[in-house]
Amino acid sequence: MAGARNLLILILLLMLHAHCPQGAKILTICLVGGSHYLLMDDVSRILQDNGHEVRMFRQIGDGTLPGYKMPSTPYPVSTYSLDEKTLKEFDKFFTEYQKEFFMGKAGFQFFINLMNVFANQCRISMNQTDILDFLKKEQYDIAIIDAFNPCTFFISEKLGIPYISIFSGNIGNAIAVGLPSPPSYVPTFASQLTDRMNFMERLKNTLMYIGSYIAENSVQAIFNDIAERHFPADSRPSLSDLYHKAELWIYNVDFSIEFARPLLPHILCIGGLRAKPANPVSQDLEDYIAESAESGFIMVTLGSMLSSIPRMDLVKEINSAFAKIPQKVIWRYKASDWPEGLEVAPNVRLLDWVAQNDLLGHPKIRLLVTHGGMNSMMEAVYHGVPVLGIPLFGDQFNNLIRVKAKRMGEYIPATEIMAENFADAIRNIVGNKSYKTSVMKQSVILRSHPFPPDKQLLGWVEHIIQSGGGGHLRPYSYQQPWYQQFLLDVILFLSACVAAIIYLILRVMRGLIHFIFSNRKQKQN
């Protein structure tokens, strides 16, 4: 008896072990630098630190983390570098656009051009047969990919591994993912609207909602030739198929920032992976901050990709705005790019790189001046720091509209910044307690989430590996033709029925009237 029981326990233990995802082989794929890399690095670390075997596949050389000293990683990395010519092209592309960002010209055309650059890079990435063959032989259980560059989907598909998409911004690609987004209260990406819309705004939102299907199609078409070259005709995926195939979509956002909206079972909002309790800042900075006494300090960062401002007039205005305020200013700005002959305001210190999360957690911080990237927004909310935004490109307008709608701060487009109004905006936010109160409220929402972001990430990744994929979470709508999904066939049928009934009623009434009138005529006659 006892022997049989022990055997049973042994078998159970073995079964449990077989299902235990400890030591799963996970490939993270990151083809974009800057904040995208920082987020994917955190994701890789969390999984590696929890007993999984992680490797990152990374494209290097886009030079978009100026000033950042890359620490060594606890997981191995497979890298390849783009060739000189492509790197130069990218550099030129990004430098030219930096000016445009600060002129307020970085709309849809920028996005299309960026996707063209990504597609060019992808044609090279997909040709890295040595690395791809090696990765294929490794037989990963799952890939975790930075979804912003669509090439990561083609690479996972080529390697034949299931994948989880990480989207580093807010839910701006809902249409591509097939996420229900009723235009009555879900603002379309780039609409600059909130969830509360009057009639005209809902009209605008609806038109933009329809337009974004067309826009999405034109973006995806850029990658068509890559699918054609690298996949046989009978198993050739479209980008849209690949978006729908992801086991999970994980967004780097939280409802402390995002407006409440419908999700699907495999769409997760896990915001704040990079927001952590602060480490002490360096003694040197601590001394500098101490000089500010009760006024405190403000921090200025315009994103991991931008270490300077290519518009001298704007630097001048911002610098003289800082000279007017009592706070100390810690400004991430590459000192060697500072305009010649311009004196840095006495209360300003320029640094090539800042430990943003640590400074945001400092008790004396009063304000974050930011471009509005999602990592920064989540860190500001986590630490309860009000925000003054200078939105430049991508999802930054979207993010800052949410910040403003939730009263956590304000924003000024770069084209409208003058020393006077910029200083006023700072004084207003720092002096008005309501911003701090609101952001503290949102901070409690983020921090009291029932499960911390790293636990959510780990738990969900393991769930997908254990359950053999996210098929049980994906809605059937993904397989429906669009006219069925939007019930156009049913609506058409019902409309036809209503029309037929109305027609019949009219016919009968006409018949009756005819009958009555002809009766009368007969009587009169």
Residues at the site binding ligand NAG, with contacts judged by CB under 6 A: 123-124, 127
Task: For the CB of residue 126, give the shortest distance to ligand NAG in the complex, in Å.
Answer: 7
Return the residue matching tokens 């037989």: 139
Return the residue matching tokens 């995208």: 36
Cβ atoms of 164 and 140 within 8 Å: the answer is no
Q: How many helices (H) and strands (E) does the chain have?
A: 20, 13
Pick the closer one to ligand NAG by CB: 44 or 125. Answer: 125
What angle separates helix 374-383 from helix 396-405, to the nearest 10 degrees?
A: 30
CA atoms within 13 A on the CB side of 387: 39
Pick the closer one to ligand NAG by CB: 132 or 367. Answer: 132
Determine the Cα–Cα distance for residues 111 and 395; give it in Å rounded to an integer: 11
Task: For the CB of residue 123, give the shortest distance to ligand NAG in the complex, in Å.
Answer: 4
Determine the Cα–Cα distance for residues 265 and 132; give it in Å rounded to an integer: 32
Return the residue matching tokens 């009587």: 523
Determine the Cα–Cα distance for residues 431 and 423; give it in Å rounded to an integer: 12
Pick the closer one to ligand NAG by CB: 50 or 120. Answer: 120
Determine the Cα–Cα distance for residues 125 and 191; give it in Å rounded to an integer: 34
Pick the closer one to ligand NAG by CB: 127 or 428. Answer: 127
Pick the closer one to ligand NAG by CB: 127 or 480. Answer: 127
Pick the closer one to ligand NAG by CB: 142 or 227. Answer: 227
Of the candidates 144, 177, 385, the residue with the CA atom closest to the CA atom of residue 261: 177
Task: For the CB of residue 122, give the shortest distance to ligand NAG in the complex, in Å.
Answer: 9
Q: At 409, phi and psi to the nearest 5?
A: 170, -165
Task: For the CB of residue 432, give the shortest distance to ligand NAG in the complex, in Å.
Answer: 54
Pick the closer one to ligand NAG by CB: 86 or 467. Answer: 86
Task: For the CB of residue 171, give the shortest distance to ligand NAG in the complex, in Å.
Answer: 33
Task: For the CB of residue 267, give the shortest distance to ligand NAG in the complex, in Å.
Answer: 34
Return the residue matching tokens 């030079």: 63
Task: For the CB of residue 121, give the shortest distance to ligand NAG in the complex, in Å.
Answer: 9
Pick the closer one to ligand NAG by CB: 124 or 323. Answer: 124
Task: For the CB of residue 124, give the shortest distance to ligand NAG in the complex, in Å.
Answer: 5
**Which tokens is 446 given?**
């983020």
Q: Would you call 36 exposed, middle or buried from its count of C-beta atoms within 10 A (0-12, 13-18, 19+)?
A: buried
